[in-house]
Amino acid sequence: MNFLIKILYLISKIPLKILYIFSDIIFFLNYYIVGYRKKVILQNIKNSFPDKTDEEIQVILKKFYLNFSDYLVETVKSFSISETESRVRMQHINQHLFHEAKAEGKNIILLAGHVFNWEWINALAKVIPQKHCHPVYRKVNSNFWEDQMKKVRNKFGNEALEANEVIMNIFRNKNDGDSAYMFVADQTPHIAHVNYGLEFLNQRTPAFIGYDKLATRMDLVFIYCEMKKVKRGFYQVNYHRIYPDGEKFVNNEVVKKFHKLLENTIHKHPDNYLWSHRKWKYQDSIKTFDAEKI
């Protein structure tokens, strides 16, 4: 395993413009020959955009495989990418929101979706005034790979937290504006925790609601991370503060507003969403379904 990591690290040192040649090869093999999860991807896209023609669906499918291939080599690049290159390739818009939260003395919950390339938000820790920046990740079965991915996410001064420990960490730590927690918030809950669902992309969708529970119990700042692929290897993340309709958030308000914002982002560039994940596999297990249109 250590040998494999050394190989990956050496590959990650190759300039991205060359790594994208490997991306093109991966795309060709994946799209034309292997067809990684092609049935799942195609069904997810069709269900999400019932009004699109077969030709439009195929365009999204092909562009998705191109973006997915770029994502794979960009993830490898994350092992060695420098802070300088990261800042050039990922532009952070509306940074004033982080200064406002610090001035208000409120910690931040960042909500991102699986929009390419969400992994590169990690360098945010170097550009915001908060002392502690915590990417939240899901535990994987291999301790070795978990350690490696944690190292990648802890670059640039981050302090990664496993999903099962993050809520307790938020409650225990002082709410003083010095901490930011980064959730990829469109995760699919484990089947044992599929309690709440809503309509998202024209489908009954199980929703992770841990961060929503925080909204009704603590005075935190919630920020949506809108990812945009400007061109190959260059991204923008535009930060939008999520405000309650009333004086404070009510149950499920944040989760609905997040999914609405994410849905708008996906409609702009549907090929940038991670259609290969099985987001809707537990939709029949939803206990409480919110039929209200988001």
pLDDT at res. 192: 86
pLDDT at res. 20: 98
Element (H, E) at 229: strand 221-231
d(CA 244, CA 214): 13
| Cβ–Cβ under 8 Å, residues 72 and 64 | no
Q: Where are the alpha helices (DSSP H) in 123-252?
A: 143-153, 163-172, 210-217
d(CA 215, CA 231): 35
CB-side exposure of 123: number of CA atoms within 13 Å?
Answer: 20
| Cβ–Cβ under 8 Å, residues 239 and 225 | yes
Q: What is the pLDDT along the chain (294 residues), one digit of tens a residue?
A: 677 778 888 999 999 999 999 999 999 999 999 999 999 999 999 999 999 999 999 999 999 999 999 999 999 999 999 999 999 999 999 999 999 999 999 999 999 999 999 999 988 999 999 999 999 988 777 777 777 777 888 888 899 998 888 988 999 999 999 999 999 999 988 888 899 999 999 999 999 998 998 999 999 999 999 999 999 999 999 999 999 999 999 999 999 999 999 999 999 999 999 999 999 999 999 999 988 877
pLDDT at res. 1: 62
d(CA 204, CA 281): 10
d(CA 66, CA 131): 37
Minimal CA–CA distance to 269: which of 240, 242, 230, 224? 230
d(CA 241, CA 101): 10
DSSP state letter for 273: B
Element (H, E) at 294: none
Element (H, E) at 200: strand 196-200
